[in-house]
Structure 1
């Protein structure tokens, strides 16, 4: 594995994003990744609106869940969600650029806790998400010891 945790997080993020058609299809981008941290964004499109003319909560949840997934896999250990909650605080509107900032709060053994704040382009908090993770077998990206510097 690369000795540089940042290089490893970037490799894991790149590898995961390339294999993530769901996030790609919604136009999500992975803007920042580091050990235990990820920031993703998504523009609210017309087809994401609900009957009230605001962003459907499922899309907000998907953005938060994707940021959570990238943050908890940033250590390059295959990690899945074990549970989560979300609180919707403000509506997202058509054209808004939603940003999900995921941060590791605790990591012990095979379990972790991550908080995700979803906000709009003006910094207004749209939702708060908390996810619990569980590590499973394997790695996101395969890296040889000798590739430590090449992975950066």
Structure 2
């Protein structure tokens, strides 16, 4: 996974939703990605912890960057998440996405959301390629 600009970087640059949440694409390539986000006061729910939807969105963004790093336009076919602990305002979360397998137009990716070395959530995404190439 290198710092070179690829299809995932171009996709992220056009992703206003993720960037407006303060997400940063740290790296993406070869079916992997790392995305960072700080939990803000607007992301905290009525229990005083990060709303699970924002943690999911961070993981989903890393998943999207990983599966689009190969070039063809690829979207989510489905995903699920398991929360292992909560996050709070001010926590810096990093989502680390790893490709498990690609077959035909489909793929499976795992994303671990971390606060430092502590696992906050585990996400599994299933991808589907809808366009052969984004180059050109």
Shorter-chain TM band: over 0.9
Q: What is the TM-score normalised by the length of structure 1?
A: 0.85
- Partner of residue 139 from structure 1, selected from 88, 108, 133: 133
Q: Which residue of 1 aligns with 2:22?
A: 27
- Partner of residue 118 from structure 2, selected from 111, 121, 124: 124
Q: What is the TM-score normalised by the length of structure 2?
A: 0.94
1:105 pairs with 2:106: no
CA–CA distance in structure 2, aligned partners of residues 38 and 97 of structure 1 = 17
Q: Which residue of 2 aligns with 1:114?
A: 109
4+ residue runs over 4 A deviation: none
Measure how far apart 1:11 and its partner are: 1.8
Task: Answer with 1 or 2: which has the greater Rg.
Answer: 1
Q: Which runs of 5+ in 1 are unaligned?
A: 144-152
Q: Which residue of 2 aligns with 1:92?
A: 87
1:13 pairs with 2:8: yes
Measure how far apart 1:139 and its partner are: 2.8
Aligned residues of 2:2 and 2:27 also touching (Cα < 8 A): no
Q: Which runs of 5+ in 2 are unaligned?
A: none
The RMSD of aligned alpha carbons is 1.6
> Is the partner of 2:22 in helix, strand or coil?
coil
